[in-house]
């Protein structure tokens, strides 16, 4: 279940964005808040792992929810962890650990709750991530994560496709494939949901600057290594204009939310194709985020 991503490019992009990430990650913060609304307040975790923590907004929120729990903030980009460490306070609200979601540096069956906000879509092998989540979770432990689905930035993808055949927007995995991945990894009672959130911009340049500011650049292995010329971008901008509504250019994000429980010891890996429960997100405040 490879996503066709270049891990080194992912690490570099988020490392470069570390200093300015939180100031620009408005959508990411909102999605994280909505994700944490899915957590059961009755949980009493002793060890919480925040995977892909970035500047640790999620780790701080998890510490506030469970101040007696030990929280580990894990990220693959060292500059992000430096920012996170500077916010941990004294005594520290969380511990910062460098690591890859596909090879978690934790012991098996050691974690009670895994929280991963918008991390999975930047992992080249989501199947390995699911297997690692299962490995480190204690039996009955809780997994919650959000990720982006294939309709994400479809306007930008379409505008580039009108100009050339190279991939300019990372590919994202379908919600049903994510659900199948959870089942194949042996997770119990997976619950999936999705919604579309839309940011709007004055022009293509503003959108591209926003993406670069949060490290969300093109990490496709087949991407062009050459700089995109001014005339080329002007043609892309012209193609994007057909999406303009009310004087603004939309950028749609298909957001997928998932929750599941770690299985009991010895629980077998299951075959794909089993039904996955779904829930409505209509009760969440608002259906669009605008800037």
- pLDDT per residue over 107-139, tens digit each? 999 999 999 999 999 998 888 999 999 999 999
Q: What is the mean predicted confidence (pLDDT) over 249-261?
A: 96
In a domain, 224, yes or no: no
DSSP letter (8 states) at residue 73: E
In a domain, 123, yes or no: yes
pLDDT tens, position by position, 265-284: 776 655 444 444 434 444 33
In a domain, 288, yes or no: no
Give the Å distances, CA to CA, from 92 to 88, 106, 151, 185.
5, 19, 39, 33
At residue 29, φ and ψ (nearest 5 deg) are -65, -40
In a domain, 71, yes or no: yes
In a domain, 164, yes or no: no
Comparing 41-50, 91-100, 258-267, 270-279, which segment has the lowest mean pLDDT?
A: 270-279
Domain of residue 118, residue span: 7-150+171-195+255-278
In a domain, 51, yes or no: yes
In a domain, 74, yes or no: yes
Look up the pTM and report it: 0.86
Q: How far is CA 270 from the centre of its chain?
A: 25
Hey, how many other C-beta atoms are within 10 angstroms of the C-beta on 225? 4
- Report helix, strand or coil for 278: strand
Report pLDDT for 277: 40
Number of independent structural domains in the chain:
1
Query: Which CATH number does the domain housing residue 56 bear?
Result: 3.40.50.150
């Amino acid at each position: 279940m490879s996503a066709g991503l270049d891990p080194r490019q992912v690490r570099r992009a988020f490392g470069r964005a570390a200093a300015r990430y939180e100031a620009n990650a408005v959508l990411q913060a909102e999605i994280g808040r909505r994700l944490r609304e899915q957590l059961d307040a009755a949980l009493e975790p002793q060890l919480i792992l925040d995977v892909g923590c970035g500047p640790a907004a999620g780790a701080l929120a998890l510490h506030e929810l469970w101040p007696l729990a030990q929280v580990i903030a894990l990220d693959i980009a060292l500059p992000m962890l430096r920012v996170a460490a500077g916010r941990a306070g004294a005594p520290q609200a969380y511990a910062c650990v460098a690591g890859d979601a596909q090879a978690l540096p934790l012991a098996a069956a050691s974690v009670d709750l895994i929280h991963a906000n918008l991390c999975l879509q930047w992992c080249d092998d989501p199947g390995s991530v699911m297997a690692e989540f299962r490995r480190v979770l204690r039996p009955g432990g809780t997994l919650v994560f959000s990720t982006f689905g294939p309709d994400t930035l479809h306007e930008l993808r379409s505008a580039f496709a009108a100009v050339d055949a190279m991939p300019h927007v990372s590919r994202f995995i379908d919600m049903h494939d994510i659900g199948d991945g959870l089942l194949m990894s042996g997770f119990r009672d997976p619950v999936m949901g999705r919604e579309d959130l839309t940011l709007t911009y004055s022009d293509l340049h503003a959108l591209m600057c926003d993406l670069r500011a949060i490290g969300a650049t093109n990490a496709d292995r087949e991407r062009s290594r050459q700089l995109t010329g001014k005339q080329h971008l002007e043609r892309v901008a012209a193609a994007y204009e057909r999406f303009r509504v009310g004087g603004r250019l939309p950028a749609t994000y298909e957001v997928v939310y998932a929750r599941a429980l770690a299985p009991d010891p010895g629980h077998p890996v299951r075959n794909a194709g089993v039904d996955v429960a779904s829930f409505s997100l209509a009760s969440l405040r608002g259906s669009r985020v605008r800037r």
